[in-house]
């Protein structure tokens, strides 16, 4: 029999016994591996174990594709932080919102469903105080099958009212702030310092909480701060050229980005970038 796997079989005892031992026990004669596992407990040890057992092993088949499929796992274990995806919608003239605090609806219904699909694919979703206060988003996955992400909000001074959806207890929420640390209802209050390393502190905390990926849907200020600190891996920018605002909040500006692809959904142009 020939076994095809995306990732090197593990060789250590974690939540389950080593995969390599199971393969050996079932007398698999050949194993085709997409890419090595960079996790320190594995990183070639699984391949060595298979070879030592006389199993023909081939590595690096469709390696780039397999690495992309495992990008969240790899980032978590090599950079010790979640994989970070930025997402925002902007008007044709590059505005992300109004100055008058009225919510601006930019994307169409089909794109909204796609955004909920994205939510179902990530472990957490992150917003800032202004977005929570002005939009009162639920941050749940309601338009697609699959789970809702853990909700994360940056509320440094704990000024958000408890009536907001973020505190409704429907799904767990993490509130990063400067005042308190502890659990209340289904919410975790995580205390951080008010300094220039807020993005670093948040990502380090999410890593400690074993959150592999985060979708940032915050406002311009929060998104720009993560861009400037270099804390992003992928950006998904939605532009509706049929809406011109003239006067409004400017969308974030990416830096060190590489354009990957674009697609048009009704009036929404979706452009995908990765950080170089």
pLDDT, tens digit (0-9, with 9 covering 90-100), for 165-212: 999 988 899 999 999 999 988 899 999 999 889 999 999 999 999 999
pLDDT at res. 40: 85
- The pTM for the full model equals 0.92
Contact of 235 with 83, CB cutoff 8 Å: no
pLDDT at res. 181: 96
| Pairwise pLDDT comparison (186 vs 96), residue with the higher score | 96
pLDDT band per the 50, 70, 90 thresholds, residue 145: very high
pLDDT at res. 13: 84
First-residue to last-residue Cα distance in the chain: 40
CATH superfamily of 81-275: Dihydrofolate Reductase, subunit A (3.40.430.10)
- Cα distance between residue 250 and residue 109, in whole Å: 23
pLDDT at res. 99: 85
Contact of 56 with 33, CB cutoff 8 Å: no
pLDDT digits (tens, 9 = 90+) for 97-136: 988 877 889 999 999 999 999 999 999 999 999 999 999 9
pLDDT at res. 103: 80
pLDDT mean over 229-247: 96
pLDDT at res. 272: 99
pLDDT mean over 25-52: 94
pLDDT mean over 210-224: 96
- Cα distance between residue 87 and residue 222, in whole Å: 11
pLDDT at res. 16: 84
pLDDT mean over 16-34: 94
- The residues spanned by each domain of the chain are 2-69, 81-275
Reported CATH class of domain 2-69: alpha beta
- Does pLDDT of 229 surpass 80? yes
Polymer length in residues for the chain: 276
pLDDT at res. 162: 94
pLDDT mean over 137-150: 94
pLDDT digits (tens, 9 = 90+) for 256-270: 999 999 999 999 999
pLDDT at res. 41: 85
């Amino acid at each position: 029999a020939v076994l095809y796997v995306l990732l090197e079989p593990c060789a250590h005892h974690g939540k389950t016994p080593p995969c390599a031992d199971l393969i050996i026990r079932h007398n698999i004669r050949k194993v085709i591996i997409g890419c090595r596992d960079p996790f320190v407990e594995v990183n070639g040890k699984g391949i060595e174990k298979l070879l030592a057992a006389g199993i023909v092993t081939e590595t690096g088949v469709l390696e780039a594709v397999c690495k992309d499929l495992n990008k969240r796992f790899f980032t978590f274990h090599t950079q010790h932080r979640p994989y970070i995806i930025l997402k925002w919608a902007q008007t044709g003239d590059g505005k992300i919102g109004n100055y008058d605090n009225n919510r601006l609806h930019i994307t169409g219904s089909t794109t909204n469903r796609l955004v909920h699909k994205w939510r179902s694919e990530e472990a957490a979703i992150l917003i800032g105080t202004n977005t929570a206060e002005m939009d009162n988003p639920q941050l749940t996955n309601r338009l697609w099958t699959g789970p809702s992400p853990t909700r994360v909000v940056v509320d440094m001074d704990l000024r958000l009212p408890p009536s907001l959806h973020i505190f409704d207890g429907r799904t767990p929420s993490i509130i990063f702030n400067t005042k308190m640390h502890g659990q209340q209802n289904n919410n975790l209050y995580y205390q951080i310092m008010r300094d220039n390393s807020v993005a670093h502190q948040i990502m380090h905390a999410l890593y400690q909480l074993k959150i592999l990926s985060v979708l940032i849907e915050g406002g311009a200020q929060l998104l720009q701060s993560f861009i400037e600190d270099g804390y992003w891996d992928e950006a998904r920018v939605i532009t509706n050229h049929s809406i011109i605002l003239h006067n409004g909040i400017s969308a974030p500006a990416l830096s060190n980005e590489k354009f990957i692809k674009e697609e048009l959904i009704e009036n929404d142009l979706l452009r995908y970038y990765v950080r170089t």
